[in-house]
Amino acid sequence: MKAQLQVNGQLCAVDLAAPLDISIPLRQGAANVNAFHLSAPRFEPVRAGSFVGSVADGGPCNCEDLLVNAHGNGTHTECVGHITAERITINECLTRFFFIADLLTLDPIRRADGDRLIMPKQLSAYLAGRTSQALILRTLPNSDAKRSRHYSGTNPVYLDSRTATAIREAGIKHLLVDFPSVDREEDGGELLAHHAFWNLPGVPRRDATISEMIYVPDTISDGRYLLSFQIMSVESDASPSKPVLYELFAA
């Protein structure tokens, strides 16, 4: 199923029958990716009187309670409500679902203290000529292990806050990364990169989102794509999400 769209004045074709899923599936138990010392997802059959929501256990159908934390259990998309006292929800903020996105692969810079960061100079050339609405960052090394890694206590890669500021000032509305947080795992609650990206303190960018813990296989090349967001219609600051890419071709 093919469609056409205008990208920076050029007519492009997209094959909607060839999606490239860059989300990490939610799995029950320890095989699931995990961060921030949060519990693993739990999928439990509903039990009420003689009813059990499991065909394997003799029930008439499968009906499970799902206990999931969006921020630590896998791919998720969050809005500015993640860091505001005012209740602002992802369902309010993300009301468009297709964007032109650029995928970049970067090797984080190791600081003298051992921290690995994405620094402004790594994005300066790209941001100077930016024409897309979304930016997807894939970090090195990159392997399938990211789909089940337990990040808690490992001080994963994060953004220098000046990098987040540069991304905001370039007009990027949607930032997607393959690590658990744009901020340092332990930073005393400052969340400097989150604040910089959403322009806080200041006028909050309610139409901007951050997606964390994606996974982009090496089979997907750096370049420009059509990005589709799929989220739950949930009135919370974040939702488990399924970002999907589609290749763009000359029409």
Evaluate whether residue 58 is within a structural domain: no
Could you give the C-alpha distances from 154 to 95, 151, 190, in angstroms and in order?
Answer: 35, 6, 19
pLDDT at 24: 97
Evaluate whether residue 46 is within a structural domain: no
Radius of gyration of the chain (CA): 19
pLDDT at 220: 98
In contact, 169 and 163? CB cutoff 8 Å: no
Question: Residue 95's domain spans which residues?
Answer: 2-29+70-250
Measured CA to CA, the distance from residue 192 to residue 182 in angstroms comes to 9
Instruction: State the chain's mean pLDDT as an integer.
Output: 96
What is the pTM assigned to this prediction? 0.96
In contact, 90 and 234? CB cutoff 8 Å: yes
Q: How confident is the model at residue 7 (pLDDT cuts 50, 70, 90)?
A: confident
Q: How many domains does the chain have?
A: 1
Q: How confident is the model at residue 68 (pLDDT cuts 50, 70, 90)?
A: very high
Collapse the DSSP code of 6 into the 3-class scheme (helix H, G, I; strand E, B; otherwise coil) and give the result: strand
Evaluate whether residue 120 is within a structural domain: yes
Average pLDDT for 16-27: 96
In contact, 228 and 246? CB cutoff 8 Å: yes
In contact, 170 and 129? CB cutoff 8 Å: no
Evaluate whether residue 51 is within a structural domain: no
In contact, 86 and 118? CB cutoff 8 Å: no
Q: What confidence tens digit (pLDDT) does each residue in 85-106 have?
A: 999 999 999 999 999 999 999 9
Question: What CATH number corresponds to the domain at position 143?
Answer: 3.50.30.50
pLDDT at 250: 84
Q: Residue 120: CB partners within 8 Å, gap ≥ 6?
A: 160, 162, 163, 166
